[in-house]
Amino acid sequence: MMQIPFQKTIAHVARVSGRGYWTGKNVSLTFLPAEPDTGIVFRRIDLTGEPMIPALAEYRSDAQLRTKLVCDGASVEMVEHVLAALYGMGIDNCIIECDGAEMPAMDGSAYAIALAIEQAGRVTSDRQARTFKIGESIRLGDQQVYVQANASEQAGLTLVYHLDYGQGSPIPSSSSTCLLSPAEFLTSIAPARTFLTHAEAMKLQQSGVAQHVTHRDLVIFGDSGPIDNQLRFPDECSRHKLLDLIGDLALCGYRLEGMVFACRSGHNLNGRMAQQIRNLQLDPDESLIKAA
Ligand SMILES: [Zn+2]
């Protein structure tokens, strides 16, 4: 018999702080328990009126190498690791107070945030969780770069990521799979760090961003592997891509049941998949009009 999932929030307040990659600014996050049907909502406590920004696909805005949310002129960015941590740890409702726009980079992974959520504990409400069972396949992208959502015989959400930047790239090709659960997320996905090639890192710093970031704050690949660093998993890069995928899919606002396969996809395509799923759930007729 299938177990009915109920909405969960955190049992206690959790706090995390650190500097953002792009701005270098120190930001504090306070995760607060929230009522059923709140969803995941950011609150900018540093701005007048403390505006709320719901973590839903309709507020997603395109930004370079990160996921940004904008609502009524207030924004938060680099939210993907925070959202992945909440989704991966099975939290449906939470208010995240932040005193800046850019989320803390930590060590480039979601481990510190996932651990803080794990330590805060979970409370189950008597309200059923909003779930979306993937039925008909949805595919976005082209032959080389795509995301595909399918129905699955297996209960829960299975995710697969295939990373392949070609033979010329210093980043090795790899594939990673996970059947999402809080335990699996905490040990196998959350610790996987973000990465760049040395050339990409140089280019970003020359453009004036991420001045304080060193080789130890993420994984930087030179021609002969990670520079001044060691990988936590042989397939750390594709595991990190799974982490990003989870954070971006969280913007659909539902717990997903089925299978999502992604090949070389990034935040834009992942976010569009979340929007597509959201459209199907919100109003099937409306989504047909939008697709036309
Ligand atoms: Zn990432």
What value does the mean pLDDT take over residues 191-215?
Answer: 85
Dist. CA 125 → ligand 1 center (Å): 30
Dist. CA 137 → ligand 1 center (Å): 26
Domain residue extents for the chain: 6-291
Quick check: is 267 catalytic?
yes
Dist. CA 81 → ligand 1 center (Å): 6
Dist. CA 111 → ligand 1 center (Å): 12
> Which residue has tokens 């009915």?
4
Q: Is 113 helix (H, G, I), strand (E, B) or coil?
A: helix
71 vs 52: CA distance, rounded Å: 8
Tens of pLDDT along 62-106? 887 789 999 999 999 999 999 999 999 999 999 999 999 999 999
DSSP for residue 93: B
67 vs 78: CA distance, rounded Å: 5
Instruction: Name 177's bridge partners.
Output: 160
Q: Is 128 helix (H, G, I), strand (E, B) or coil?
A: strand
pLDDT at 2 over 90: no
The superfamily in CATH containing domain 6-291 is: lpxc deacetylase, domain 1 (3.30.230.20)
What value does the mean pLDDT take over residues 103-119?
Answer: 97
pTM assigned to the model: 0.94
107 vs 226: CA distance, rounded Å: 15
Residue 283: its pLDDT value, please? 55
- Of these residues, 12, 162, 215, 267, which one is catalytic? 267
